């Protein structure tokens, strides 16, 4: 097999990695693979050529991508050489490896975390497992939370509020322990960001990123997968899947894209007759 010399073939350094299944318009079978592109969705390049579906792609440094493959695999590919390494595999298990679907305020030195198998989660770096049992990147419903802007808590009306010495600001109304709730709350750039989740589907919870603005609560992005590193300007998201009809068939489709935290600009990376599964922002993304 000829190595996939991604960085050597392109002068444009890939900024975004994502997994997607692009459906053929004939009877051929398609497989979800790993792709890279720039911040505008251009210079798209297929990175993997796996026989089974890929998902949960994550950056590990500037030149390595880690991803899950159906069948309990976690693999790593070096973008400079194209070399693929199996990081973890549990043969004979029904568990699939999957990454954290909400990655919030991660920081630049956070390694990929995958869950699955009997031992729970693993942390991956440089082609090997470096830790077991790493906690999720958010603490669901751990309230109250003290921030520089005040205390975030749930009031007597089951609303999420920010309370300081002068006033109480309603952040989110009607929290329900089963259908929706708070995932994480952070202050960055002098603003309060928080994520909530909804479970209207049995397939995946949907994460919602919101921000407190002078004129009220602003919605930024939603998705079954959401990467919102608040040290960056961009948020990556993957839509909840939906059924679409094509030539008498029902196909699962889902888009993926980016939203700018500062301007609100949205860039669609995956759309149309495709099913996006995961997205990851590279270390060079501003």
Burial of 168 (0-12, 13-18, 19+ CB in 10 A): middle
pLDDT score at 49: 97
Confidence of residue 117 (pLDDT cuts 50, 70, 90): low
pLDDT score at 109: 57
> Locate tokens 């440089």: which residue?
126
For residue 55, being part of any structural domain is answered with yes
Structure tokens at 254: 């889902």
Structure tokens at 62: 């500037």
DSSP state of 105: S
Over residues 241-246, mean pLDDT: 73
DSSP state of 254: B
Percentage of the chain surpassing pLDDT 90? 43
Residue 186 near residue 104, CB atoms below 8 Å:
yes
For residue 1, being part of any structural domain is answered with no
Structure tokens at 170: 């309603």
Structure tokens at 159: 């609303």
Residue 121 near residue 114, CB atoms below 8 Å:
yes
For residue 203, being part of any structural domain is answered with yes
Total domain count, the chain: 1
Choose among 81, 1, 5, 75: nearest CA to 33: 75
For residue 255, being part of any structural domain is answered with yes
Tell me, what CATH number does 214's domain have?
Answer: 2.120.10
pLDDT score at 245: 67
Average pLDDT, whole number, for the chain? 83
d(CA 259, CA 11): 25
Higher per-residue confidence, 261 vs 92: 261
pLDDT score at 235: 96
d(CA 16, CA 269): 9
DSSP state of 174: -
Instruction: Encode pLDDT of 132-191 as tens digits.
Output: 775 444 444 467 888 889 998 888 877 888 988 888 888 877 655 444 577 888 888 889
For residue 122, being part of any structural domain is answered with yes
pLDDT score at 41: 94
For residue 196, whether the previous peptide bond is cis, meaning omega lies within 30 degrees of 0, is no
Residue 43 near residue 6, CB atoms below 8 Å:
no
pLDDT score at 65: 97
For residue 209, being part of any structural domain is answered with yes
Q: Facing residues of 256 across strands?
A: 238, 270
Percentage of the chain surpassing pLDDT 70? 83
Instruction: Encode pLDDT of 21-73 as tens digits.
Output: 999 888 788 999 999 999 999 999 999 999 999 999 999 999 999 999 998 89
Domain extent at residue 63: 6-281
Structure tokens at 147: 């921030």
Based on its alpha-carbon atoms, the radius of gyration of the chain, rounded to whole angstroms, reads: 20
For residue 286, being part of any structural domain is answered with no
Q: Which residues contact 58 (CB under 8 A, 6 or more apart)?
A: 17, 65, 66, 67, 99, 112, 124, 280
pLDDT score at 200: 63
For residue 256, the tally of other CB atoms under 10 A from its CB is 27
Residue 45 near residue 37, CB atoms below 8 Å:
yes
pLDDT score at 108: 54
Residue 2 scores a pLDDT above 60: no
Confidence of residue 119 (pLDDT cuts 50, 70, 90): low
For residue 161, being part of any structural domain is answered with yes
Residue 107 scores a pLDDT above 70: no
pLDDT score at 38: 96
Over residues 115-144, mean pLDDT: 70
């Amino acid at each position: 097999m000829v190595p996939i010399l991604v960085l050597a073939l392109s002068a444009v350094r890939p900024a975004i990695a994502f997994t997607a299944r692009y459906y053929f318009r004939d009877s051929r079978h398609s497989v979800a693979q790993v792709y890279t592109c720039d911040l505008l969705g251009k210079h798209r390049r297929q990175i993997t050529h796996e026989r089974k579906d890929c998902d949960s792609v994550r950056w590990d440094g500037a030149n390595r991508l880690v991803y899950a493959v159906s069948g309990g695999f976690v693999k790593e590919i070096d973008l400079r050489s194209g070399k693929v390494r199996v990081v973890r595999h549990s043969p004979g298990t029904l568990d699939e490896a999957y990454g954290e679907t909400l990655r919030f305020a991660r920081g630049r030195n956070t390694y990929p975390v995958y869950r699955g198998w009997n031992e729970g989660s693993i942390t991956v770096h440089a082609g090997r497992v470096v830790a077991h049992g790493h906690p999720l990147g958010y603490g669901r419903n751990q309230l109250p939370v003290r921030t520089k802007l005040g205390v975030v808590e749930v009031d007597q009306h089951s609303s999420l509020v920010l309370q300081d010495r002068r006033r109480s600001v309603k952040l989110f109304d009607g929290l329900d322990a089963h259908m929706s709730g708070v995932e994480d709350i952070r202050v960055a750039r002098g603003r309060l960001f928080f994520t909530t989740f909804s479970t209207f589907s049995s397939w995946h919870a949907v994460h919602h990123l919101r921000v407190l603005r002078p004129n009220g609560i602003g919605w930024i992005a939603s998705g079954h997968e959401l990467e919102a590193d608040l040290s960056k300007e961009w948020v990556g998201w993957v839509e909840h899947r939906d059924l679409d009809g094509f030539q008498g068939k029902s196909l699962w489709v889902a888009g993926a894209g980016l939203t700018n935290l500062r301007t609100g600009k949205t860039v669609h990376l995956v759309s149309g007759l495709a099913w996006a599964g995961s997205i990851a922002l590279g270390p060079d993304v501003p």
